[in-house]
Chain A
């Protein structure tokens, strides 16, 4: 039981590491400015239809990239916090049950 638990942990670690390697290696091996795919699509639109004008602006114009990245980090932090809370709760519940037995 405990050895399968251990191998599960190793498994999970491998999952995390692989995801990190996949995400980081482009930065090391590929030259690019890593602009968003959406701004590239936007350029493509202007290429296909040069006279197209965006007919409405976003409601909220963010005052710069730093603020934008702050908000994205905020979004990720909320989500990650909830995930940590729920998984932690489930885990604690299971352990408590284990001790009762």
Chain B
């Protein structure tokens, strides 16, 4: 064992934590649809739509945890990753800020259903304790961040695997998952607030202009950080990754 290694590793981790904390501490708002900003009927609609995905996710999560208790740490890791990234409100080229979703890592490791649960927990935490997002809008936010984002990411990852570029697949899964989340948010707002002239589509372009453009550089950052953790797992947790590969092959 080389002597300098743990120190270097430690300093890398510390730097990362430090960067994360600094970015998190900058006062700004975030995104997600805020409390009360969806009419009641739409709020209920998205709750109903999100609920079955959540139930499926709970099933998939408890099945994984029961059959492979050795993967629990890794489950904690993907939850924590989403927890960190969605706390980071990062400035973007549009002059406003937003935050990544961090669901991509869990999607490539455990699949989209597990991340529906993780993403929902993050959103619930933020809605209840941080007054960020809201409980009435939780269904809509779960649907965009914890259903659409993960499934789009999953499709992207599958595509990457098909062309034999797993790493690229991981990167793009994180990017596209994050982008899809905010495009879905734009669609949700457009449906609830169609423009007087031009209707839903005109509204969509306006909201997508706010959320989508802001999210582009963030998605790239998110992809890079996802690759970073992925690299660590490949060098230190090859066993777990092998078990996961088998899991995926069986389903």
Contact = CB atoms under 8 A, between A and B. Distances in A.
Partners in one complex: yes
A15 B232 CA distance: 12
Interface residues of B, number: 93
Interface in B57-101: 73-74, 76-77, 79-98
A76 B88 CA distance: 7
B129 A36 contact: no
Contact of A86 (B74, B189, B215): B74
A26 B221 CA distance: 13
A78 B135 contact: no
Interface in B10-43: 12-13, 15-17, 19-21, 23-37, 39-40
Listed residue (A8, A18, A33, A77) with the most chain B CB atoms within 10 angstroms of its CB: A77
Contacts of B249: none
A19 to B, nearest CB: 4
A77 B134 CA distance: 22
A23 B131 contact: no
Given A36-B98, A49-B193, A12 B231 contact: yes
Contacts, number: 247
Contacts of A68: 27, 130-132
A82 B225 contact: no
A9 B85 CA distance: 22
Contacts of A89: 73
A34 B95 contact: yes
Contact of B95 (A33, A54, A61, A93): A33
A44 B206 contact: yes
Interface residues of A, number: 71
B144 to A, nearest CB: 12
A36 B233 contact: no
Contacts of A23: 23, 90-91, 217-218, 221
B13 A88 contact: yes
A26 B91 contact: yes
A43 to B, nearest CB: 9
Nearest to A65: B27
Contacts of B95: 26, 30-34
B131 A54 contact: no
A22 interface: yes
Contact of B87 (A52, A72, A84): A72
Given A37-B97, A42-B37, A45-B37, A66 B83 contact: no
A16 interface: yes
Interface string A70-97: 0111011111111110111111011100
Contact of B228 (A15, A54, A69, A88): A15
5 contacts: A12-B232, A20-B19, A41-B189, A58-B127, A72-B24
Q: Which 3 A-B pairs have the closest CB atoms?
A: A32-B95, A36-B29, A54-B36
